Structure 1
């Protein structure tokens, strides 16, 4: 592909701004050994002349170090932090999308990075408002351009942290195929990928056709105890458990990690949690006998004990879900006239995953005196003598095989299908004036199904009394035969004592489904207005009309009251784990924009080039009204070796449909409350908020690009960035963070988000979306590269890094502005936190010739402290280093050649740094999955060829 072709493609479809040398590969079809120039402007055709920084990666370079897919390669780059995918998800929950690959720039959220394919938007996936980049066909993707600064004025809403633009090779000819397989050093995580792509030109090269089909599947990691640490049952307690636990995590009693810890608030056979003092803390054995529970050795955190009789959370549940993706893509481009090109393309994508979540457990199960199973241990007369007619038990269901569809862990399956159709045209208006237009329709359908306890059935089945013939029957069938006539009595008093038919009867499928639709029309025009002494004044302008719609259905809406009529003791949501609400909503957006480049000086002393770049966009949302974004930047080249750039911008992100209209979600999580010094199962409520306002971001970037002529083959760039978001849309924090914030400051506005019962015990925490006051970050990105001939080949090196200077968040206007950089204080999902090390870096070195290539990559994740808000005995987390190697060998004789390749990720099988981020023993590995590798050493081998 020629340099001119690449410049035209970039001009039409956009990206951002750095020039970087790339080694030619077979996929480049013999590209000349010159710099590949890209741009993030709709006007600037030379990326080095644009004021906004950009990182570019070819698919070949990404695949060499991350053969699992393009997104995996991007997530290895330092600027991508906080990505959402199966390996990094701290909690495998059926209440949310739990696999796929949702890119995240600077940990500002997947919803604040705009994902494009050839410059056009893609429809959201699932219900989190982001785009699962796994649905983008990869066989024909040529490169990925990442704008690492605000770009809303050029591209529209969502481009707050930047833009990721997948560029399709629309001129590919021939056939290429790929087959590969991978396996971890532990013998699990097996994966394979198959793909084939073809392209041809007909009608004297006026008609170009491309098509691809590909499939990827992985077994994941089916059990958490397949990796060391999960079975060690780590929980964070107090250094001195004998002190008043209200002081836990303070300078006088810092946090200390304990192993071998389980909960002492429930048991596998049932623990009596309320009633007469003589009965409390008695547990039911598998024989049905009642014995005292051993609460274990105190660790200073209520609800847990070392060596207690209580269960672990779920060490045999899924660590990484089993998943698969499939893509089919077709494009036709027809040159109807000298300056008129028509195109049409269609992509069809599937994505599915399955795994097992938390063990089924429930608290406050009422057992009444007339319960036929209870009478085997406690008669009504005995209970009456103790002054009660009932007891309550907490039960952890772990003894049954979920794959046989019995009680135990929660088996879940999620599926997504998407279709994206696009038609368009491009042409000329005379001179250098060009135009392009496109119409896009995209639709994604996501579904999640889990099998779990249905609470109305559970309470009905547990309330078993003696029937007319003395045999156990469900009481509901005696008092209201119209309800649950098929109810099967269930004995929960002792592990393994329940009738399998009764266990099956209380299970049901909880499901929710989301459909996203995107319809858009775009028109772009660009060209030169006139020329000055310094060069042509070029402009671009255009508009877009876009409509997006979301429809979400659910059989587990927490806002729909559960009918417990006639069922004694019935309470709570319909299902024990999954409770997702319904949603309906849409909006229409009308946008116009303009961009201009004004050359000021050219070929003058100490100024080879000086020019200004400006852009403005007005968007009108049917839900929130009009909002403006702009960008002003400049590039100054004092000498040929150095180029300085700067830009300021106002960027916007309107609330997504999910954030506006998403139904309420309800998830039960065990969390610690410092106010009462207890650990409780607390409901965390999330969902949409229709009164959200757009968020606005002010972005500043300052940078320098180095291309010294005296050192041929070397290039470099250093860029400072600062992004400050006002009225940022998000949740006020995890349930744990909200409880801790209220505990440390009783006057905190976070306290209003907590619902407590008459005993001051927290029962629910609100995490509904709102406009938090401030979210800001600043830092420095740097990139250096070198390429030189060596022997009969080429040696190339590339260093990418980022230094996080600050990351601040203020959850409400009345709350404190907290600095999170270099700590793990940032709230994550539910009880987890997200570390933000200040340093991240990537160094890759490759040697390649016509016969083979070999490369090594070193990834560094910097050190940080666990907290600057609370105190730990060991507060420091050391830096982590991961080494990857790749090798390929060209074998002639088949078209352009057959290439065999191998990649070893995490060569030295480095474990994630020890850090107990989740306080449910056995629920996670003792490490921060959001940062560190959990797969271990992973070997991929494969072949690819091109004809």
Structure 2
């Protein structure tokens, strides 16, 4: 008997040409190791295996669904230091955006520090993650926990990653809509292996690097096996200060039209805002007088005559900046706002903003173990188990502005500002009129999370009582517990400290000091206070950590049997039948101050608590219809079904049908069509109502009369009676809630894939060539999603004026108060009427013996032909292909050469250029907005040497230190001047070194 190692699944399999023809189109590194063996070896015996995408044991790879495999060796050669990095790479995701380490200061599902994966751009709740074929339960912090956190995976024990880019809900369950990721551990591992890897950025400061250390051990006896690993991963922080493209965020207009700061003569920086010159204003005060009331009872805030700052217009101002040299008008202050003044006159940045996290730091410790014991009973059964424990400590550094109101007549207001009065109390002064509002550049704030994840699996598998049938019964329990903390100003304490009187010695003290002896009086309004130099004892009293706790528990019990059903002329019909029960519970309890709305100018959140359970019965058959017939070397049918009964959303049935057809040996046609039914995730059903406030600077109508604003936006803002130079002074209220009480429906979808695999026979010595193309099409109905308040505002105000007037589409979620122009945005979980993704995957593999070794070339390209959705049934579909962050094409290519103990590799990653001019109705030849992103290329190289029991791998990622592209502000979320998009490398050129020693 002659066999070879299956590079797809790590098991001994038949070395037939048919097997290799499909397998080599799904694996990157493996073809180099095995294709030559396959062409020369014959097999007479086979160990059957299970390929991801099917629950059936099989003796070949002729599955109807396209599968990609990334081996452990390939991941090391690419310089990836964690499984999360592997899974979020362009080669796996096809270039669609993922939640990674660059999202630390953004609100994302799963909370700060989480890493998730969503295939086909369909989001992580529609991609199932498995570990050894069993579900990895959700983990994370805050209420919106519904997807697996890739940080929990045991990198040291992973043998390979299998990626099914096809819907498989009928096989694996409702959330396998866009695909399945299965992580396979190193089975039958023996010995002891030490591994160390360091990734070091090559910038001057070296920040942003990472270190992974691991120990893996395994042994086995006649009846038992055991293996496990312990590892520690540590990633350093990378801040805005550490990269040139984030140190000074500008408007980014064409023809260098950025605003020049009159104080410095340089482009003005706005490093924390996505809206350029309408950004954060700090280190100023609002002071003036109120005008007469209008018909609605509202007063206008009028300016006062004074001395203007450099670059200002006129002599009347209502926004001021300290200037000790001013001795007329408002003594000690110069005017920087009001009237016709551009907002850029104000201060909008300071050095401490550059301490903000660009990539947040994290420490992860993972312990994993697995084992089995042969009972010699119950059908030669094996009792097996797995245990996983993971601890993650992550944190983020942000920057906070403090908008502090001093009541009219407060002794904390200096005499030169006593004239000022207005009535817009923010809730700090018990309804009193306000004398002065200080916009204080407070400085850096911090958030941190600690997550503990535990997963235990136990099971029994063996021979069923029917010949050649097997059974597998298992149960698993997973628990994620996360504590999340953020530093917050407490409203009640601010109120106490601003209500002051003078004591006997003339010093300020809290009026309620007798009943609250710990109260610290707020500081008097001075230039230092306005500039953020605040007394430490006062800051310690009003600025406090607020901690919430999130728990997610899941219990799964499953049972399945598989074996031959009956025989057809072309072979045996195989079947698999199973049952599964899942119960999930979520309990997110925010800190009391968050629940009670006591966090000043920050969101409030209520408790998220709920549970759901589901019973499922499922089956799969595979029937060989033809074999070795004329024009039909093979024709086989695969069919699966699943009956699902949710406690929350009732029952439904899904199915999938697949065909594999080989007219001749070297041509294979494959295709699938299936359906899915997904009840909303627990957080989508039960997330506690949240009412938050966003900066008034995010109002899309601010200064809409400026040059080069989208004409649709101009028309829509004007239709609401807003002046061309309108500047909002009202925070934007954002309301979010779970959808169960609002009638949120389950989502359904269809998924179709059709593919062609060609492996032409080449003359002897010319090597092995294979090509595959797969067309995919996913359509989701009633898709559950949140759009994000910023996206809602942009897509509403930039929409067609007729749709805006009729409140169609996203404008149904936006309200503007006619009395004070305040915005309210409803960003709850809703059912998208339609969500469609279509495209093609192209794969090429070529291997040839050359000189003393073997050369291997791999090429993988993903093309999206449609990424569209509509919110309501009567809305038109909008296609986003080719727009910023939605590239039409992405690709990866690499060439490697292996000889003796050496292997060298060179790889390229490519993202096709994008632009958003057509969507926003802008003429690219005349607009000053830069919404055009060119092609993006990353080059990587590595070399590996394998000695006796040890391996050394060294290389460089992003060899040419390619920065992310830049776009104009005001349209997309940005990181510095670059789009926020996981496909871009924010680290820069990075060297890596991996050392492995086995005993």
Note whether the superposition's TM-score is higher than 0.5.
Answer: yes
Q: What is the aligned counterpart of 1:68 among 71, 77, 81?
A: 81
Q: What is the 5 A alignment of 1:783-794?
A: 783-794=843-854
Partner of 2:318: 281
Partners of 1:659 and 1:49 in 2: how far apart?
38
Structure 1 gap segments, 5+ residues each: 243-256, 399-406, 563-572, 825-834
How many angstroms apart in 2 are the aligned matches of 1:796 and 1:63?
17
* 2:53/2:180 contact within 8 Å kept: no
The verdict on how the C-alpha distance between 1:755 and 1:847 changes in structure 2, with shifts beyond 3 A counting, is: same
8 Å contact from structure 1 (residues 600, 610) kept in 2: yes
1:552 corresponds to which of 584, 588, 591:
588
Match of 1:292 among 334, 337, 347: 334
- The equivalent of 2:398 in structure 1 is 357
Q: Which residue of 2 aligns with 1:629?
A: 654
Give the aligned partner of residue 617 of structure 1.
642
- Residue in structure 1 matching 2:63, options 45, 50, 74: 50
Out of 734, 737, 752, the position equivalent to 2:789 is 734
Matched residue, 1:944? 996
User: How many residue pairs are counted as aligned between the two chains?
Assistant: 880
> Counterparts of 1:285-684 in structure 2 under 5 Å?
285=322, 290-295=332-337, 304-305=343-344, 308-311=346-349, 314-337=353-376, 339-362=380-403, 365-379=404-418, 390-391=433-434, 393-398=436-441, 407-429=442-464, 430-467=466-503, 469-477=505-513, 482=515, 486-493=519-526, 494-496=530-532, 498-555=534-591, 560-562=595-597, 574-577=599-602, 579-665=604-690, 666=692, 668-669=694-695, 670-674=697-701, 675=717, 676=722, 677-678=726-727, 681-684=731-734
Structure 1 range deviating more: 157-166 or 506-515: 506-515
Q: Does the 8 A contact of 1:271 with 1:284 survive in 2?
A: no
- Mapped to 2, the partners of 1:687 and 1:946 lie a distance apart of 53
Aligned equivalent of 1:87: 101
| d(CA) in 1 for partners of 2:98, 2:644 | 29
Q: Is the 8 A contact 2:192 2:218 kept in 1?
A: yes
1:663-711 CA distance string (max 9 Å, x none):
2343524413333454564233334221322211111100011222336
Q: Pick from 834, 839, 847: which aligns with 1:774?
A: 834
Residue 718 of structure 1 aligns to a residue whose secondary structure is strand
Alignment partner of 2:496: what SS?
Answer: helix
Deviations 1:575-594, CA, capped at 9 Å, x for gaps: 43454331110011100001
Question: What is the distance in 2 between the residues matched to 1:423 and 1:106?
Answer: 33
Once the two structures are superposed, residues 149-193 of structure 1 have per-residue CA deviations (whole angstroms, 9 ceiling, x without a partner) of 110000001101000000112211122110121211121113211
Q: Tell me the residue number matched to 1:693.
A: 745
Q: 2:163 aligned with 1:146, yes or no?
A: yes
Structure-2 change in CA distance of 1:841 and 1:240 (3 Å): closer
Residue 830 of structure 1: aligned partner: none
- The alignment status of 1:104 with 2:146, answered yes or no, reads no
Deviation of the 1:344 alpha carbon: 1.3
Deviation at 1:764, TM superposition (A): 3.0
Is 1:131 aligned to 2:148, yes or no? yes
* Cα distance between partner residues in 1 of 2:109 and 2:375: 50
Does structure 1 residue 20 correspond to structure 2 residue 24?
yes
Cα shift readout 1:75-113 (whole Å, capped 9, x = no counterpart): 223451445444342844599613232112121101110
Cα separation, partners in 2 of 1:579 and 1:886, compared to 1, 3 Å: farther
1:290 positional shift: 4.5
SS in 1 for 2:559: strand
Deviation string for 1:248-284 (max 9, x for gaps)? xxxxxxxxx9867655773314333774524452325
The superposition leaves residues 616-638 of structure 1 with CA deviations (integer Å, 9 ceiling, x where unpaired) of 10111101110221101111100
**Structure 2 match to 1:882:** 938
Distance 2:220 2:87 in 1: 32
CA contact (8 A) 1:464 1:490 kept: no
Alignment partners' CA distance in 2, 1:740 and 1:728: 19
Write the distance in 2 (CA, Å) between the matches of 1:513 and 1:354. 16
**Aligned with 1:798 (options 858, 868, 878):** 858
Task: Give CA-to-partner distance per residue, 1:299-352, whole Å, 9 cap, x none.
Answer: xxx9842x5333369333111111111110111111222731110111100112
Q: Secondary structure at the match of 2:193?
A: strand
C-alpha distance 801-169 of structure 1, shift in aligned 2 (>3 A): same
SS in 2 for 1:737: helix
* Equivalent in 210, 230, 236 of residue 191 of structure 1: 210
For 2:76 and 2:228, locate their aligned partners in 1 and report how far apart those are by CA, in whole Å.
Answer: 20
Shift of 1:116: 0.4
> Aligned partners of 1:865 and 1:471: how far apart in 2?
60
Give the Cα–Cα distance (whole angstroms) in 1 for the partners of residues 789 and 21 of structure 2.
37
Deviation at 1:924, TM superposition (A): 3.2
Compared CA separation, residues 273 and 543, structure 1 to 2 (3 A)? farther
Distance 1:212 1:773, change over 3 A: same
Write the distance in 1 (CA, Å) between the matches of 2:788 and 2:986: 25
Report which stretch shifted further, 34-43 or 902-911.
Answer: 34-43
Distance in 1 between the 2:353 and 2:981 partners?
Answer: 17
8 Å Cα contact 1:721-1:780 kept in structure 2: yes
1:929 to 934, 956, 981: 981
Task: Give the aligned partner of residue 250 of structure 2.
Answer: 234
CA distance in 2, matches of 1:637, 1:94: 45
Alpha-carbon offset, residue 57 of structure 1: 1.2
1:241–1:686 distance in 2 versus 1, CA, 3 Å: farther
SS of residue paired to 2:868 = strand
Q: After the TM superposition, which residues 158-173 of structure 1 pair with which residues of structure 2 at under 5 Å, given as runs?
A: 158-173=175-190
Task: Report the TM-score, using the length of structure 1 for normalisation.
Answer: 0.86
How much does 1:230 deviate? 2.5
**1:26-41 aligned within 5 A:** 38-41=51-54
Whole-Å Cα distance in 2 between the matches of residues 181 and 320 of structure 1? 17
Partner of 2:225: 208
Q: For residues 264 and 878 of structure 1, do their structure 2 counterparts lie closer, same or farther at Cα, with a shift above 3 Å needed?
A: closer
Distance 1:698 1:497, change over 3 A: closer
Separation of aligned partners in 1, 2:288 and 2:189: 68
The alpha carbon displacement at 1:120 in A equals: 0.6
Return closer, same or farther for 1:314/1:128 CA change in 2, 3 Å cut-off.
farther
State whether residues 748 and 814 of structure 1, in contact with CA within 8 Å, keep that contact through their aligned partners in structure 2: no
Q: 2:777 aligns with which of 710, 713, 722?
A: 722
Corresponding residue for residue 845 of structure 1: 895
From 964, 967, 972, the counterpart of 1:915:
967
Q: Is the 8 A contact 1:233 1:262 kept in 2?
A: no
The aligned residue for residue 861 of structure 1 is: 911
Q: What is the distance in 2 between the residues matched to 1:272 and 1:426?
A: 76
Say if 2:816 is the partner of 1:756.
yes
> Are the structure 2 counterparts of residues 582 and 18 from structure 1 closer, same or farther at C-alpha, using a change threshold of 3 Å?
farther
Unaligned runs of 5+ in 2: 14-19, 42-48, 259-266, 271-275, 291-300, 305-316, 325-329, 423-430, 702-716
Task: Describe the SS at the equivalent of 2:354.
Answer: coil
Deviation of residue 604 (structure 1)? 0.7
- CA distance in 1: counterparts of 2:160 and 2:492, whole angstroms: 53
Task: Report the equivalent of 1:252.
Answer: none
Deviation at 1:47, TM superposition (A): 5.8
Aligned to 2:806: 747
1:809 aligns with 2:865: no
Structure 1 residue 194: Cα displacement? 0.3
Post-superposition CA distance 1:202-223 (Å, at most 9, x none): 2x2x2011010011101120x2
Write the deviation string for residues 852-877 of structure 1: whole angstroms up to 9, x where unpaired: 11101100001111243212444422
